[in-house]
A and B are shown apart, each in its own frame.
Chain A
Amino acid sequence: MSLVGQSASASLTVTVTAEALAAFAGGIGASGSGKRRPTTFPIAWLTQPAVVDAVRQMATDRPSSLPVHELQTIETLAEAPLDRPLVLTATATRTDADRITLQAVLAEAGGTSLARLHAILRLVP
């Protein structure tokens, strides 16, 4: 049965900490002035096991393939507060034979959206 058109979702609690921001900035090789947060920091949460599992569920017909980014977007709606539990909801959808789209929203526990992420992943080979 084709997976095209099917989706799998994940929801997880995440937290922004000063330490995690600093570690991420260090991994980029940023100067670490601390004046501006790395815009792409929330993208790191897309590597969380629950999200990776949702993507894998959409690629069970291609067990030897690996997902490779074709496109990534991050839209920051408001700065995420430090040290507060936030909710990341992600949905992976198999859009065609070779691609999976991943949509995610970062929100406060009360539901206010803080960031939106969109990725197109291509399965190779």
Chain B
Amino acid sequence: MSEAGKPTSGEAGKPTSGEAEKQTTGETLALGHAFPDHRCGVVGAARVSAYATSSGDDNPIHTDEATARSIGLDGTIIQGMLLMALADEALAAWRPDSVCRRLTARFARPAPTGSEVVIGGRVVKTEAVAGAELATLRIMVRDGKGAVLAMAEAVIEN
């Protein structure tokens, strides 16, 4: 832990699960409950390339500097779908027994390859639907300096 309740960055950008995250397992989520910051580490070219291979999301703006620059970017960018997947993984690390029923992400700005990614949020709604306890979380995907890369919303079943 680098600071109370927050996981540290993993080696080579691998996410790590913090103790505080696991403590919430089984606890009923309430309005305002925090989804603690999950530090995914630096998402570099190797990770972008690995995701391109495993997902097929190989748009050259993620892997080819010249193509990225040709459309006005400063360089290659992290796949939005990878950021979304990292948000889902952060949720899974925090609430490993939960089921994500709905996940949506709106991408606020290009995330340069090599950005550190930090994901956290808050419960903004709880409801019981057909016997299931659902919590809606507003999630922010930020870079290491706090700039918002994407805003996400997840509906999870506790």
Please list the residues of chain A having a beta carbon within 8 angstroms of any beta carbon in chain B: 23-24, 26-31, 33, 35-36, 38-40, 43-44, 47-48, 65-76, 124-125
Contacts and interface: CB of A to CB of B under 8 A. Distances in A.
A76 B47 CA distance: 26
B20 to A, nearest CB: 16
Contacts of A124: 71-72
B10 to A, nearest CB: 8
Contacts of B103: 39-40, 73-74
Given A31-B15, A36-B99, A125-B71, 19 more contacts: A26-B50, A26-B54, A28-B86, A28-B89, A29-B13, A29-B40, A29-B50, A33-B96, A35-B97, A38-B88, A44-B57, A65-B71, A66-B60, A68-B61, A68-B80, A71-B104, A72-B80, A73-B105, A74-B103
A53 B30 CA distance: 44
Nearest to A124: B71
Contacts of B17: 31
A71 B54 CA distance: 21
Nearest to B41: A29
A53 B9 CA distance: 39
Contacts of A39: 85, 88, 100, 103
B106 A70 contact: yes
Contacts of A72: 80-81, 84, 104-105
Contact of B102 (A30, A66, A73): A73
B51 to A, nearest CB: 5
B33 interface: no
B56 A69 contact: no
A48 B56 contact: yes
Interface of B: 13-15, 17, 40, 47, 50-61, 67, 71-72, 80-82, 84-86, 88-89, 92-93, 96-107
Nearest to B58: A47
B67 to A, nearest CB: 8
B56 A75 contact: no
B109 to A, nearest CB: 11
A71 B106 contact: yes
Contacts of A26: 50, 54
A40 B96 contact: no
Centre residue among B14, B72, B98, B102 by max chain A CB count within 10 A: B102
B81 A40 contact: yes
Given A29-B14, A76-B101, A38 B71 contact: no
